[in-house]
Amino acid sequence: MSKVPAIELNDGVSIPQLGFGVFQIKPDETAAAVKTALEIGYRHIDTAEMYGNEREVGQGIREAGLDRADVFITSKLNNGFHKPDDARRAFDKTLEALRSDYVDLFLIHWPLPTLYDGDFVSTWKVLEEFARDGRARSIGVSNFQVAHLERLAKETDTVPSVNQIELHPYFGNNEVRAYGREHGIATEAWAPIAQGKVLDDPVINRVADARGKSAAQVVLRWHIQRGDIVFPKSVTPARVEENFQLFDFELDDSDMDAISALDKGEAGRNGPNPDKFDYVPG
């Protein structure tokens, strides 16, 4: 079994650099997918209340027969629960759904600067409570821009351990990533293969052919070598296995540079702009 490297976060918590994502996996497929991933060797599962499958993530972990302490679980606060009391209730429901008395990492899913009078600071202070009482081993954010991170630095006591952002060869998100590096905030990459859009790229396929690997493996390896935390998603066991096989090869500097040069800046963004995103599930 390949050994997944771990990254030490700024609070001393150790997080597996490769995880298994469950975004857009249907609830009735999630438990089996998680069980398969854990049997392959994954030990980091990334979910969210908004995904609607936290309960099935917990079920999959139990069905795999692993001790809770052996699996790193990340979940996220849904957009409709940013007010402090709502955030507390939502977190309780996350723990109940997972059937766990703690999560390893809990994130604010989106900053929502155009909602709640732009107040994500009060929300963050509630996450600080979860960290103090031990129900969240580590706390972080997702989709936060530099201005959002700077505001947290000025108005709160805790630097996020993680910022989970859209990041892939076509969208390097360089300013946010650089800020994280300068301030000890680990970068997690969602949509690490741009929802498949980068897999037909001739540069990536040239590297893949030279290495005898798939395009997806090459892109995921690019993330790993840059120090990103990454969690590909699939319900196909063979693909889940393939995505795990990232540690028996390396990309050289020319490979890394060629892939990084594919960055299209803001034009490469697939997902919503965090400065404008205001979706609240009904």
pLDDT of residue 271: 97
How far, in Å, CA of 258 to CA of 88, rounded? 45
DSSP state of 275: T
Strand 72-77 and strand 44-46: pairing?
Answer: parallel
Domain count, the chain: 1
Digit-coded pLDDT (tens) for 122-162:
999 999 999 999 999 999 999 999 999 999 999 999 999 99
- Domain assignment of residue 276, yes or no: no
Q: Which two tokens stand for residue 210?
A: 């030279």
The CATH number for 91's domain is 3.20.20.100
- The DSSP secondary structure of 85-127, one letter per residue, reads HHHHHHHHHHHHHHT-S-EEEEEES---TTSGGG--HHHHHHH
Tell me the residue range of the domain where 25 lies: 6-267
Query: Any idea which residues carry the catalytic annotation?
Result: 51
- Chain segment 18-30, per-residue pLDDT in tens: 999 999 999 999 9
In a domain, 147, yes or no: yes
Asked if the structure places residue 69 within a domain, the reply is yes
Per-residue CA distances from 238 to 62, 233, 245 (Å): 22, 12, 11
Residue 278 located in a structural domain: no
Rounded-to-integer distance, Cα 233 and Cα 54, Å:
15
pLDDT at 105: 99
Q: What is the pLDDT of residue 3?
A: 87
d(CA 57, CA 35): 9
The annotated binding site for substrate is made up of 109
**Dihedral (Cα; 266, 269, 275, 280), 10-degree rounding:** 170
Q: Which residues of the chain have pLDDT under 50?
A: none
Q: Locate all alpha helices (DSSP H) within 159-270, ordered by sequence.
A: 174-183, 202-211, 215-226, 237-244, 253-260
Mark the binding-site residues, compressed into ranges. 109
Does any domain span residue 282? no
Q: What is the C-alpha to C-alpha distance for residues 170 and 262, in angstroms, rounded to an integer?
A: 6
Give a yes or no: residue 258 inside a domain. yes
Which pLDDT score is estimated for 201? 99
Please, which residues have CB within 8 angstroms of residue 136's CB and are 6 or more apart in sequence?
91, 102, 103, 104, 105, 106, 127, 130
